[in-house]
Structure 1
Amino acid sequence: MTFDYDLFVIGGGSGGVRAARVASGDWGARVGLAEESRMGGTCVIRGCVPKKLMVFASAFPEAIAEARAYGWSVTDGAFDWTVFRTRLEAELDRLEAAYRTTLKTAGVIVHDSRATIVDPHRVRLATGEEFTTRHILVATGGWPFVPDIPGKDLAITSNEIFHLPALPKRALVVGGGYIASEFACILNGLGVAVSQYYRGAQILRGFDDEARGHVANAMQARGIDIHCGTDILRLEQTATGIRAVVTDGTEAEFDLVLYATGRRPNTAGLGLEALGLELGRSGEIPVDAYSQTAVPSVFAVGDVTGRINLTPVAIREGHAFADTVFGAKPTTFDHELVASAVFTQPEMGSVGLSEEAAKAQEPIEIYATSFRPMKTLFAGKQDRVLMKLIVAQASRKVLGCHIVAPEAGEMIQLAAIAIRMGATKEDFDRTCAVHPTMAEELVTMRKPARIA
């Protein structure tokens, strides 16, 4: 049978674009790609990139205060949200254009339309056009989830936060994950009075307990009003804002309510069930190590699979898929020891096992230190850094590393290389410190803080 395409990709985010580019540009496949929204997906358009730029913007008030402590004659100016938002939108336009150029250069045919799957070798666009294809790759990512409560339409999600007409004076962030915590810090840094409600016992569930507790304390010290064990019953419009009615019986009014209570795989209406594919509880697409579904011609990568919802992971999965299917190079991506960074203030970087997970697995030693870093100590601030290593008693391998500090994301990337290579605590000890730095503490902790 002759097909219109060798590969048709549904979704123009990081994973889909990488798979399409490699399959076409490196391996010569005939590739079509459909994207119903903007090219670049969650990360570029409504996730990592605009969020990180907002993180940068929100850090300047503290930087200005520190500059004064270092002898600079500077004054706080007013933050102009409109100026920032305009530049942000221009940058997103530039990045989207770059994605399109990359695909065009690789020979990928882009269809600016929603696509659904008709059968294992056929897709249909919203325009009515249909194409046959040897393989289909679903890379439609995730979508913010908002619980079905009265007044839910009064809330926004992280999709809309970058396009606000103006900054609110009072904001409520609902959720305790990294997206909720990051935006609580961003809005706080931009001068918004922020409350964060989370139904769990502590924010940043899934991360090392000591590290996430350190972040929570630092956020509260910066003025973020964190309420754990708290959930919203309903939202009500008032003459002066949005009233949140809470499970503990209290009520509070805000100008903005941001829900960041998780993301769900974006699989609704794609036609997957008609293929006989049984989706997971949250709508995720089950795949094997090669990203192949139970339908041999259909594959899936990225957040839509519910594996690890990180952009670099989606990119690696997409690349591995293209090499496997079109390059005759069977390739899998190892989802173990994937480092991550949470861009709160301060940042948290993490790779490997938490203390809790490690001690449930085997006897361990915990090396940890907390101290006031030189830069902010000189400025008279009470900020504290946390450095933590989890070490297996038997093998001496470093099982996990957790850092809470400015630029923790930059540090954890380098620590992840060593841990990925199987470094032992003695390897860390033999490494000479770079002084004076915060990161030198990772190689100067000689005695365990505790044994578990």
Structure 2
Amino acid sequence: MGRVTSETLGKRFAPARVAILGGGPGGYEAAMVAADAGAQVTIIEEKGLGGSAVLTDVVPSKTLIATADAMRRVNASTSFGVRFGEGGRDQYETEAWADFSQVNRRLLKLAETQSEDIHASLQAFGVNIIPGRGRLKGPAQNGVHTLEVSCSSGGTAEVEADAVIVATGATPRELPSAKPDGERILNWTQAYSLEEPPEHMIVVGSGVTGAEFASAYRRLGAAVTLVSSRDQVLPGEDSDAAAVLENSFARVGVKVASRTRAESVERTEHGVRVTLTGGETLEGSHCLMAVGGVPNTVGIGLEDAGIELTQSGHIRVDTVSRTTATNVYAAGDCTGMLPLASVAAMQGRIAVAHMQGGAVKPLKMHLVASNVFTSPEIATVGVTQEQVDSGTYQADVVKLDLATNPRAKMMNIKEGFVKIFSRKGSGTVIGAVIVAPRASELIYSLALAVTHKLHVDDIASTFTVYPSLTGSLSEAARRLHYKITDPADH
């Protein structure tokens, strides 16, 4: 008998055959992990590996945002003493402009390349890839699930599996009175067909997607009006962070129509007309609908297989990605968890770990680090200000503006902050908010602190580079140390 190792143990307990519906982050991450553990894996994907995250959502939108940020930095470069021109002329051209056809060609090419890379990686792991649309054919028979595939090349195929992961994602929500046409009225998957910058983009929806596109299009030179049904932009985010973004929007000329909804959107001779709930109308050249997503759970045999859906149509899962059907798991936007690629990928990995019978760390949503890719970016992890204010958590809080940070001054950063929450009494880091350029990178150290329950002194006593934006993280932690240890504060 051979020596038993963690590797052979994993392969021993892996289901022999795993079928995955959907090739987005939840699907392809699970496929790689399951194949690496020794399972025979088949992945069924209709539109291309990477799913909407790679092809029509995260990769292209963040590439567009990166272009907008490059323009912001170029246009702000005169503050650094940078000048543009030829031969020392007195007049300098400092305004950048976007070649939209080139911008969109680049981002679509990046999305295509990323999809090809994922395809190659799956093949390298030995994953069987079937282009097409799959559906479950009822409940398992003798422990075996059967999936029917309408192949993209024509005809049908059947796939048998001992375990199934459903990772079918979501599609943009559409309003009956505002149907996207791909030309003037757009959803976020259609925003990359524009050949020229929109003259005036009206963005309906002030959540993460709406705020990101509003920020990007304004930086790219378009006039932008954002329609928000709530009192603040980004209603689900930290109120201090939302206030910074609103001030940034006001400074660069993004107009916000607050506390109202779009009743309808219609084409006009030269653009669009958006009618609001109070009867007011907005005229623009284009309208981007960013009103959420709808899970792709219809017509794939879920109910017949015994998989329970929520009232919103999402697949009901537990913290280890199990559905209500035996040996059927689900991951990603179709489950109604946070619609983040990182969450989908984690759900997929957890599903494989659970079906292997190994030790599993359940999904803990409060440990998820998330980011809004506006200008400035907003990154969060753990406990929120709202939870502290409501008394759900007892915490000490320090908020430190970046205006005092020497590196921020060098970089001409005039807005943003670091906020850290520590558990009252113990000093354990339980949450954080960062508003800054590249906040998505800065949040990682504080996500480590929250995940591993580090004390504020662990952050405060760790060396940071001088000068750096991370210096504000350790400074905020030092101030929390004094807040915790000073009896006058209690």
**TM-score normalised to structure 1 length:** 0.92
Output the CA distance in 2 between the equivalents of 1:129 and 1:151: 34
Output the CA distance in 2 between the equivalents of 1:451 and 1:86: 56
Output the CA distance in 2 between the equivalents of 1:305 and 1:112: 23
Which range moved further: 406-415 or 130-139?
130-139
1:83 and 2:102 correspond: yes
Deviation of 1:270 (Å): 1.1
Question: Structure 1 counterpart of 2:174, which letter?
Answer: V
1:218 and 2:228 correspond: no
Contact between 1:368 and 1:448, CA under 8 Å: does it hold in 2?
A: no
Output the CA distance in 1 between the equivalents of 2:180 and 2:112: 30
Deviation of 1:281 (Å): 1.7
Aligned to 1:111: 130
In structure 2, the CA distance between the partners of 1:226 and 1:270, relative to structure 1 (3 Å rule), is same
1:367-382 map, 5 Å: 367-372=398-403, 374=406, 377=409
Aligned to 2:298: 268
Contact between 1:291 and 1:300, CA under 8 Å: does it hold in 2?
A: yes
1:165 and 2:195 correspond: yes
Question: Structure 2 counterpart of 1:136, which letter?
Answer: V
Deviation of 1:150 (Å): 5.3
| SS at structure 1 position matched to 2:195 | coil
Output the CA distance in 2 between the equivalents of 1:371 and 1:414: 17
Deviation string, structure 1 residues 172-212 (Cα, Å, up to 9, x no partner) = 11112111111111111110101100111212122221122
Deviation of 1:64 (Å): 1.6
In structure 2, the CA distance between the partners of 1:230 and 1:382, relative to structure 1 (3 Å rule), is farther
Of 423, 426, 431, which aligns to 2:454?
423
1:53-202 map, 5 Å: 53-74=63-84, 75=93, 76-120=95-139, 121-126=145-150, 127-149=155-177, 155-202=185-232
| SS at structure 1 position matched to 2:113 | helix
Contact between 1:209 and 1:354, CA under 8 Å: does it hold in 2?
A: no
Deviation string, structure 1 residues 202-253 (Cα, Å, up to 9, x no partner) = 1212222112222222122121111220111111221121101111321111
Deviation string, structure 1 residues 37-66 (Cα, Å, up to 9, x no partner) = 121112211122112211110012321233
Question: Structure 2 counterpart of 1:96, which letter?
Answer: S
In structure 2, the CA distance between the partners of 1:36 and 1:388, relative to structure 1 (3 Å rule), is same
| SS at structure 1 position matched to 2:350 | helix
Output the CA distance in 2 between the equivalents of 1:378 and 1:416: 26
Contact between 1:358 and 1:399, CA under 8 Å: does it hold in 2?
A: no
Aligned to 2:420: 389
Identical-residue share of aligned pairs (%): 29
Output the CA distance in 1 between the equivalents of 2:376 and 2:170: 27
Deviation string, structure 1 residues 347-398 (Cα, Å, up to 9, x no partner) = 011111111112422332221122436567568x683121111222222222
Output the CA distance in 2 between the equivalents of 1:90 and 1:215: 30
Deviant stretches of 4+, over 6 Å: 449-452
Output the CA distance in 2 between the equivalents of 1:215 and 1:73: 28
Aligned to 1:245: 275
1:235 and 2:235 correspond: no
Of 331, 336, 339, which aligns to 2:360?
331
Question: Structure 2 counterpart of 1:18, which letter?
Answer: E
Aligned to 1:31: 41
Deviation of 1:170 (Å): 0.6
1:45 and 2:74 correspond: no
Aligned to 1:10: 21
Deviation of 1:433 (Å): 4.6
| SS at structure 2 position matched to 1:434 | coil
Deviation string, structure 1 residues 149-179 (Cα, Å, up to 9, x no partner) = 2556563111111232332111011112111
1:20 and 2:31 correspond: yes
Question: Structure 2 counterpart of 1:9, which letter?
Answer: I
Contact between 1:31 and 1:109, CA under 8 Å: does it hold in 2?
A: yes
Contact between 1:342 and 1:349, CA under 8 Å: does it hold in 2?
A: yes
In structure 2, the gaps of 5 or more residues are: 1-15, 85-92, 140-144
Question: Structure 2 counterpart of 1:55, which letter?
Answer: I
Contact between 1:411 and 1:439, CA under 8 Å: does it hold in 2?
A: yes
**TM-score normalised to structure 2 length:** 0.85
Output the CA distance in 1 between the equivalents of 2:489 and 2:244: 20
Of 235, 240, 254, which aligns to 2:284?
254
In structure 1, the gaps of 5 or more residues are: none
Which range moved further: 255-264 or 65-74?
65-74
Output the CA distance in 1 between the equivalents of 2:256 and 2:54: 29
| SS at structure 1 position matched to 2:97 | coil
Output the CA distance in 2 between the equivalents of 1:79 and 1:17: 34
| SS at structure 2 position matched to 1:323 | helix
Output the CA distance in 2 between the equivalents of 1:171 and 1:150: 15
In structure 2, the CA distance between the partners of 1:124 and 1:89, relative to structure 1 (3 Å rule), is same
Deviation string, structure 1 residues 113-144 (Cα, Å, up to 9, x no partner) = 11111123111112332222222210011211
Aligned CA-pair RMSD: 2.4
Output the CA distance in 2 between the equivalents of 1:93 and 1:168: 24
